[in-house]
Amino acid sequence: MRRSGVTRARLRAAKAVAALACLPLGAIPFATVAHAHVKWFVACEPSDNPIPLQAVLTERFWLFAALFITVFYVACQAEQTAIGALLMKFLDRATAFLRERIDVLLRAVAAVSFSLLWVDGSVMLTPELKGNSLSLSAIQVLIPIFLVSRATLPAAAAGIIVLYGCGVASYGLFHMLDYPVFLGLAGYFGLSVTANPKVRAFRANWLRWCVALSLLWPAMEKFLYPGWIAPIAIEHPELTLGFDVATVTTAAGVVEFGLAFAMFWTPLVRRLGALALALLLFAATFDFGKLDAVGHLMVIAVLLAVVADPGEEAPHCRPALAPIVSGAALLAAIFLYDGIHTLYYGSRAAALAPVMSGTALLLLIALYLSGAAHMLLKIVQRPARRDVLVHGALMAGARPKSFVMPRRGLSVS
């Protein structure tokens, strides 16, 4: 009986793996639009005003948001079952070879990426960040050299930070918020010289958080700048599957945000999210060519590192909190993108409402994840319960006595 139960669990796990493998394949048409970095293929002006939030929060948006929250909650619940445990074992076995060589993978891919930038000679870090000075070329060619030895990794990290700073100086901080993955790489390489296990664990988490933000933040463009996506959808009509551009754009934004947000959650959920993102970015190169492949090469390598690394448990990320946290995070990202953009390019007064709304949602998420919200609820409920008990005691004391006299025994003479 026990063996048959294990067999049934393995069959269910196999079906789950097949379903999870089919999801990215089925989502490729929408997700290809999502993961083609818009600024690389369309002339975009970051200072343009986004569409009003009322035009973003439509019925279509709420429908896709509800689907995302539902799927995310189901995935979190599945992680707690025997199927989740089998999937974790499967990923551990499949990525054992890569897990032992994550440092080698990241250093090699980073060396190739910066060598390609140096050979091109016209960009800083990504295709739309133009720069062809001699100093930039010198830094780009020195970074691969510094990546050869572990002792010189901090020098490579410093070079990456300098290039990122040049991007901020040339294109502005708001534009460079699309690329915190380079800060993640700099931190990862800079902390690689230490043997402290806590520091080494932090550098892996830091890199994962940065690559997640690099995919989550640009996803907001699908909601607030749908006009940027329209030329891509028109040029590649096969990717829309016959749906209108507005539906495809909203779906693409939710898919990109959902998979990126998953990398902040529990081990299995973040590994599956990173795997789906790596597959989708790889698939996008078939439609958008070498430019997209070279631009996303480093991101795909980091995602594979996330898939290979089981990471630490996240005790605060319980399945019951998944719907609240994921839904609040989606709204917070939209509000903060709109508010920070307005603060950077517009007026402070107009930016106050979205920034405060986004900050309040982040505070709500922090309260729930820390357990403070549950404690506050208990504190609020405690006086109410005390009042109920006092009221019950008073009612019991004020209850009128019965007017029926007790019967006495009758004596028969």
**Encoded amino acid at 45, one letter:** E
Is 137 among the domain residues? yes
* Count of structural domains, the chain: 1
Give the model's pLDDT for residue 166.
93
| Dihedral, CA of residue 282, residue 285, residue 287 and residue 288, to nearest 10 | 150
Domain assignment of residue 398, yes or no: no
| List of residues 6+ apart from 351 with CB closer than 8 A | 339, 340, 342, 343
| Mean pLDDT per 10-residue segment, the chain (413 residues) | 50 45 45 57 78 92 94 92 92 90 93 91 85 89 94 94 94 91 95 87 92 93 85 70 80 92 93 92 76 81 92 80 93 95 89 93 89 62 54 55 48 42
Q: Is 403 inside any structural domain? A: no
Q: Is 131 contained in some domain?
A: yes
For residue 186, being part of any structural domain is answered with yes
Indicate whether 392 belongs to any domain: no
**252 domain residue, yes or no:** yes
Report d(CA 118, CA 138) in Å as an integer: 8
For 377, other C-beta atoms within 10 Å of its C-beta total 10
pLDDT of res. 259: 94
For the chain, the farthest-separated pair of C-alpha atoms sits apart, in whole angstroms, at: 130
pLDDT of residue 299: 92
Domain range for 227 is 9-53+79-314
Residue 345 lies in a domain: no
